[in-house]
Amino acid sequence: YRGIFIKKMASLLQKEGFRISVVTPKIYNKSRYFEKENEIKIYRFPFFARDKLLIEHHNIPYLRMILYYLTGFFLTLYVLLKNRCHLIHVHWAIPTGLIGVCVVNLLKKPLVVTIHGSDLRMAMNNTGFLKKIFIYVCRKASHLNCVSEVQKKEIEQLGIRNKKMSMIPMGVDEAFLEAGRNRERKSKDGFFTILSNRNLLPIYNVSLLIRAIPIILKEKPEVKFLIAGDGSDREILGREVKALNINSSVKFLGRIPHQEMPGLLAQADIYVSTSLYDGTSVSLLEAMACGAFPIVTDIPSNREWIVDGKNGFLVPTKEAETLASRILGAIHDQGFLERSKLENQLIIEKNAFWPINIKKLEAIYSSL
């Protein structure tokens, strides 16, 4: 599916009566070229990914991207004609948005494009070809959906007209809210567990948390740290943990199946995200739903969900000492953690609950 949120969106739309076909790149060798899951047809196009996500490449793999666009275009065209699809919903303006635009130019179908963050960041950091592609895709889309208000404002600055845009974040399952409601109240003398579940890639800056751990352990040696996820920084982070002599307090969990994440988040007292950039972080929303106290980096998209000192803490992206201080502050104020838990669950129920967001998406589809 190229994202658990796309799988969830497709499943909910299918339950609402839509016929869903998913076209996605074949990233992993073990993935099938075609499969059917609960009446949803999933097609995968090859481009020699070799089990590596595009975000994991330090430089753009141009030859692979040429193959990506060619095989992606022809498979998308085939799927639309075979299944008589009425609308295309593309996730990420770059790279898949351009495939969507080329196909709808031929078939004259409505095109919805959801901007997730990595595509916008790529465009804003590039003054040439990629930025032009991004703007072209946005202008050709029948409707643009952003996952944060920050994105929406940045896109408006590029000259994209406001009336064709919405802001609908990827949603949170009932399972996460239920896990939060059933969370056991922490005993006064209980050990604290800190969880990070971002991928172990440079953009997620997990080293910041690793560097904060020795400072925390000096005051609270019983605190445990769980690091879920995997990626190109795994070995580097492992060496850093060993060099700081904090092995006994840190556990690397690897990739956790999404269905197990509610239980893991419900066990965590504090959720930490050290990301340098995000659209809207679904993992943050899930942590809020589960009642884990959020301590996240002070970046624009996080400010839309966390008010520093009210329902969580915001920390600079480069200051391990500040992160350690905030974690210790949260540990010492369990009453604040309990109050924040209830407030955060209400925020998610109102603004990021999947069934509500799917209704908004259905309204967009109907308008086209």
**pLDDT per position in the chain (368 positions), as tens?**
467 889 999 999 999 999 999 999 998 888 899 999 989 999 999 887 666 666 666 666 677 888 999 999 999 999 999 999 999 999 999 889 999 999 999 999 999 999 998 888 888 777 788 889 999 999 999 999 999 999 998 898 888 876 789 999 999 999 999 999 998 766 556 689 999 999 999 999 999 999 999 999 999 999 999 999 999 999 999 999 999 999 999 999 999 999 999 999 999 999 999 999 998 999 999 999 999 999 999 999 999 999 999 999 999 999 999 999 999 999 999 999 999 999 999 999 999 999 999 999 999 999 99
So what's the pLDDT on residue 117? 83
Task: With residue 129 as reference, give the H or E element that holds it.
Answer: helix 129-140
Identify how many contiguous H helices and E strands the chain contains and give both numbers. 15, 13
**How far is Cα 146 from Cα 168, in angstroms, rounded to an integer?**
6
pLDDT value of position 124: 79
pLDDT of residue 54: 64
Look at residue 319 and give its three-state secondary structure.
Answer: coil
Architecture of domain 174-351: 3-Layer(aba) Sandwich (3.40)
Provide the 10 A C-beta neighbour count for residue 246. Answer: 16
Element (H, E) at 45: strand 40-45
- The pLDDT value recorded for residue 118 is 83
4-171+353-367 and 174-351 share one fold:
yes
Decide if 97 contacts 136 (C-beta within 8 A). Answer: no
Amino acid 33: pLDDT? 94
What the block records as the tokens of 116 is 């997730």
pLDDT of residue 98: 95
CB atoms within 10 A of CB 120: 25
Q: For the chain, which residues make up each domain, given as ranges?
A: 4-171+353-367, 174-351
pLDDT score of 121: 84
pLDDT of residue 162: 66
Question: What pLDDT is attached to residue 29?
Answer: 84
The answer to whether 193 and 268 are in contact (CB under 8 A) is yes
Specify the amino acid at residue 53.
Answer: L
- Return the CATH fold of 4-171+353-367: Rossmann fold (3.40.50)
How much is the pTM? 0.90
* pLDDT, position 49: 67
Write the CB contacts of 285 (distance below 8 Å, at least 6 apart in sequence): 169, 170, 171, 172, 305, 348, 352
Q: Count CA atoms closer than 13 A to 27's CA, side-chain side.
A: 12
pLDDT digits (tens, 9 = 90+) for 192-250: 999 999 999 999 999 999 999 999 999 999 999 999 999 999 999 999 999 999 999 99
